[in-house]
Amino acid sequence: MEIPDVKERWTAQINEVTIGATKEQGGTRAKTVTVGGQTTLPCLTFEGEIPHKPVIAGYVADMVPGWPDVLKNAIGKEINSPVEWAQKSVEEYGVDLINLKMIGADPAEKDTSASDCAKVVEDVLKAVDVPLIVWGCGDEEKDNLVLPECSQAAVGENVLIGSAKEGNYKTISAICKADKQKIISEAPVDINIGKQVNILLQDDGFDLKNVVMFQTTAALGYGFDYVYTILERARIAGLKGDKLMATPQICDVGGEVWRIKEAIADEDVLPGWGRLEKRGPMWEATCAGVYLQAGADILVMAHPEAINKIQTTIDRLY
């Protein structure tokens, strides 16, 4: 392709956020992961700098998610243990980080205690040496109990904690300031609320250079194009100089894709759509590949085949 002579120049830069801490930095990780730092839109290296490639965080949970057998079988028996699941994700899938979700803490699931969740964090940190992302269950009241203990269990490790919302940002901000962790700021696919959450965090004394934005994620075919435009608008605003939007972005691709009919229904439900064993991971990989182009810096992914395809895609694009 011939590169045009006219190039677009942006006035600002996306914040760099580093996750993880090595022994020299007070942690136990073998490496850190840095995202952000761009001065141009995704893939357009001829128009600016992209110092850090997008990264993949392997999806791991404290209990077996309600996924179809095609995904659970692809992961194997290790899915029954968050420690073994994390180890396999690092050693076999080659993910850059581990994305640990405490879905068992949900009162509608196992209602796992905060102390038990913290023990899972400790065990995973001992089992793998890559940086860690830790989420609660999504229930704000329960997360306000779970996340402080999980953060305490990871003091010194510079983990990314998710997530701070309009209703609970004070709790998340307080624990992350005290424990020197990073924050995921979450909004319900609304660029104005996303900006508002970042304003609230900043007003509470939290440095936005330690924030990764999460505008939630839609799977391919389910509000997908709308989320794409939100990610793109946020990235453009940051590059134009809006410091409240100049944060790296995370997409929970694996968490969303494996809940929709097109990725979990077999041919008897979707005749002519092809075998689920092939279609499911392709759906996840396609979703992740397009979000790369929208401005995603961290992709949370689950299926090993999809992870492999996107690793190849990232290498080719960057």
Per residue in 166-189, pLDDT tens? 999 999 999 999 999 999 999 999
Asked whether residue 3 is assigned to any structural domain, the reply reads: no
The CATH code of the domain that includes 67 is 3.20.20.20
Residue that the structure tokens 């979450």 belong to = 186
Is a pLDDT exceeding 90 seen at residue 300? Answer: yes
In a domain, 4, yes or no: no
121 is written with which tokens? 């964090």
Question: 77 pLDDT exceeds 90?
Answer: yes
Please give the pLDDT value at position 216: 92
- The reply to whether 309 falls in a domain is yes
> Considering the domain boundaries, does residue 8 fall inside one?
no
Cα distance between residue 299 and residue 284, in whole Å: 11
Q: Give 1's pLDDT tier (boundaries 50, 70, 90).
A: low
Beta-ladder partners of 57: 97, 300
The reply to whether 96 falls in a domain is: yes
Q: Across residues 113-132, what is the average pLDDT?
A: 98
In the predicted structure, residue 206 carries a pLDDT above the cut 70: yes
In a domain, 171, yes or no: yes
Q: Is residue 184 included in any domain, yes or no?
A: yes
Extract the tokens encoding 253: 């691709």
Q: pLDDT tens, 286-297?
A: 999 999 999 999
> Which of the 8 DSSP states describes residue 29?
B
For residue 312, the number of C-alpha atoms closer than 13 Å in the C-beta half-sphere is 8
Tell me which residue range forms the domain holding 193. Answer: 16-317
pLDDT at 13: 98
| Average of per-residue pLDDT across 56-61 | 98
pLDDT of 9: 87
Burial 216-234 (b: 16+ CB within 10 A, else e): bbbbbebebeebbebbebb
- Number of structural domains found in the chain: 1
Specify whether the CB–CB gap between 222 and 263 falls below 8 A. Answer: no
The predicted model scores a pTM of 0.96
Residue 11 placed within a domain: no
Mean residue pLDDT across the chain: 96
Q: Give tens-digit pLDDT for 141-164.
A: 999 999 999 999 999 999 999 999
Instruction: Give the DSSP per-residue string, 116-170.
Output: HHHHHHHHHHHH--S-EEEE--S-HHHHHHHHHHHHHHTTTS-PEEEEE-TTTHH
Closest CA to 183 of 240, 241, 136, 115: 136
